[in-house]
A and B are shown apart, each in its own frame.
Chain A
Amino acid sequence: MMRSSRHPLRLAVGALTLFASLALLPAGSAQAQQGKVKVGFMLPYTGTYAALGVAITNGFKLYVAEAGGRLAGREVEYFTVDDESDPAKAPDNASKLIKRDQVDVLVGTVHSGVALAMAKVARDTNTLLIIPNAGAGDLTGPLCAPNIFRTSFTNWQPGYAMGKVAAEQKRKTAVTFTWKYAAGQESVDGFKEGFEAGGGKVIKELSLPFPQVEFQSYLTEIASLKPDLVYVFFAGGGAVKFVKDYAAAGLKASIPLYGAGFLTDGTLKAQGEAAEGLLTTLHYADNLDNPKDRAFRAAYQKAYGAEADVYAVQGYDAAQILAAGLAAVKGDLGKRKELIAAMAAAKIDSPRGPMTLSKAHNPVNDIYLRKVEGGQNKVIGIAVPALADPARGCKM
């Protein structure tokens, strides 16, 4: 190999090739500017949150497909990395998409720990990041940045809305219960803020280590405290078990159970009868009566043969926000400032209802009060209209 490359003719050919490719390079990258928009999905495709990752991806792609496969006239190319909901692998995974695949936009993720790591990488590399689920307050609080957007919620939002509802119902005392981790604590803090501002009092904050599900002793304690209501933040398997245990302990009949929407989202089939009548708050529900949602759910059903859920909506809206920004700069990603300004100012016609973004780039939308009826999360009112997260600690 060494010898052959020293051959004068080969050397000349090699030099020529190199020269030619160098000469062509600027033209090539200029073409990329007009070429495809590269979108990098960094989402969980395995593990507990796999279904959420898939729904978000489906929602995003559905919008792009509805727009004819193009945003602002440019084709969209997808890159995918399974983040495995593992914060330890997050910096590497994000770098893969940014450095190797050179994506223009990073979309992710579900797990808050992973999202915090992604936000750090996005800040360091000034990559556009759209968060389609993770609810950690810090992402649009102390860590907020012009290039970071969120289309989901902060954990504070549903909690605060539920606190206000409980106070308006003239309930006086509450016990809160959650896993001892950031999301649960933020949700409970939100509830406490809303409830106590309205004259209620949280008499005890119970918590147990994540992801333990041995609730029996806490239920006994709740029964002996006899509050006017119990507010909880649980999701997935823990939510199923808690709701069933709460009903089996006979507490459901005497002390109403309230929760952030995740308590009854995607878990109703497993919870069955035990969940009937529970009140939760979230920015989406199963029977929103707006034309956009009806069309969205029908299209989603047709494209993927599955029911759309809140995660699909958040993915869909991530694409909508990106589209709004790209439209304003006619697809020229070089006009970064204008792009970000247009994304931040976008008025999104979301399946959840109208949505805008706060200064910290977090959704401002109605938080619905929902009741479980016949195995569905049905809207029974708006808990707080156009609720914005206070974005404490965000300097932007």
Chain B
Amino acid sequence: MDVYTLLIQLLNGVQYGLLLFLVASGLTLIFGIMGVINLAHGSFYMVGAYMAFAFSSATGSLVAGVVMGLGLSVALGVALEWGLFGRLYQRDHLDQVLLTYGLILVFEEMRSILVDNDVHGVPVPPLLAWSIPLTPTLSYPAYRLFMSAVCLAVAVLLWLLIQRTRLGMMIRAGASNREMVQSLGLNIKLVYRLVFALGVALAALAGMVAAPVSSVYPGMGTHVLIICFVVVVMGGIGSVRGALFAALLIGVVDTFGRVFLPQAAGVMVYLVMAAVLLWRPEGLFRSI
């Protein structure tokens, strides 16, 4: 294999990693800051993808679909936090697992009733429906590069939000000591609600952005859920920066694992996770 092909594989790995980051960032926020184990995170990804499908086929434009979808997913996040998750902060992790597993079933069934059980394609926006030739036989779809750009932009915005804004300060404070923040007179409930809505919106955004290349199909959420947990645990629970590095690491390891060790492609990621956790049991980065 020549150097040029290796570079293309590296590009594949980075691009896959960035997408993983986008899905996992919401999970690490909800898990790390609010302490809720959210198995339904994959369902939010699926909901996003199906909204992209439904709205873009109704309006004919993916951008319009994404805007509508983002609004709805924030609303969904607020409603879920108000109705269900808000009652779980003081409860055992097992109760959270039970609730969020139930939500997976509810979302799958709703998908089946509202849409159907078929596979659907979401067209790539015409503006991005071209490819960049890399070799005489292989070209790279522009949309995939655009996806990576979106993921990078989200990473930067999240970093700015958490490190450089007043809200971010409250989020960080709430993550380290909820009671203290409350006794200082800050509305921690509101902060949590916003964080949860943000987490849902990030997962849904990942689903929407990925829909044109992944297509939408039943059970798509459960596929990403496990790898998301790997990213979160490896990166350090609650650390957005950690999630970014872990996702990139996983993307690259997974890609090169498939190329050089095809027989072990399925376990490479988990071996790396085990190694990282042996080295740093808390994950690559500390919380926030």
Contacts and interface: CB of A to CB of B under 8 A. Distances in A.
Given A46-B112, A48-B217, A244-B215, 10 more contacts: A51-B118, A208-B265, A216-B16, A217-B13, A223-B5, A240-B119, A241-B214, A248-B124, A255-B137, A266-B118
Contact of B121 (A180, A211, A223, A270): A270
A212 B262 CA distance: 14
B176 interface: no
Contacts of A226: 137
B12 interface: yes
B147 to A, nearest CB: 12
A32 B259 CA distance: 62
The residue among A51, A213, A248, A254 with the most chain B CB atoms within 10 A of its own CB is: A248
Contact of A254 (B112, B123, B137, B213): B137
A220 B213 contact: no
B5 A220 contact: yes
B138 A251 contact: yes
Contacts of B256: 217
Contacts of B136: 254
Interface in A283-330: none
Interface in A183-238: 206-209, 211-214, 216-221, 223-224, 226, 236-237
A248 B141 contact: yes
Contacts, number: 106
A250 interface: yes
B138 A223 contact: yes
B141 A249 contact: yes
B254 interface: yes
Interface residues of B, number: 44
Interface size range of chain A in the complex? 35 or more
B135 interface: yes
Contact of B1 (A224, A241, A266): A224
Contact of B137 (A207, A250, A272): A250
27 contacts: A48-B117, A208-B265, A209-B266, A216-B12, A216-B144, A217-B9, A217-B255, A217-B258, A218-B258, A219-B138, A223-B135, A223-B137, A224-B2, A224-B5, A226-B137, A237-B215, A237-B218, A240-B119, A241-B215, A244-B215, A245-B213, A249-B131, A249-B139, A250-B137, A254-B137, A270-B118, A270-B120
Contacts of A180: 266
Interface string A249-292: 11100110000000000110111100000000000000000000
B71 interface: no
B125 interface: no
B16 A214 contact: yes
Tell me the dominant secondary structure on chain A's binding face: helix
Interface in B16-44: 16
Contact of A236 (B2, B119, B131, B258): B119
A240 B217 contact: yes
B214 A213 contact: yes
B254 A214 contact: yes
A220 B140 CA distance: 10
Nearest to A239: B119
A50 interface: yes
A393 interface: no
Given A209-B265, A250-B131, A267 B137 contact: no
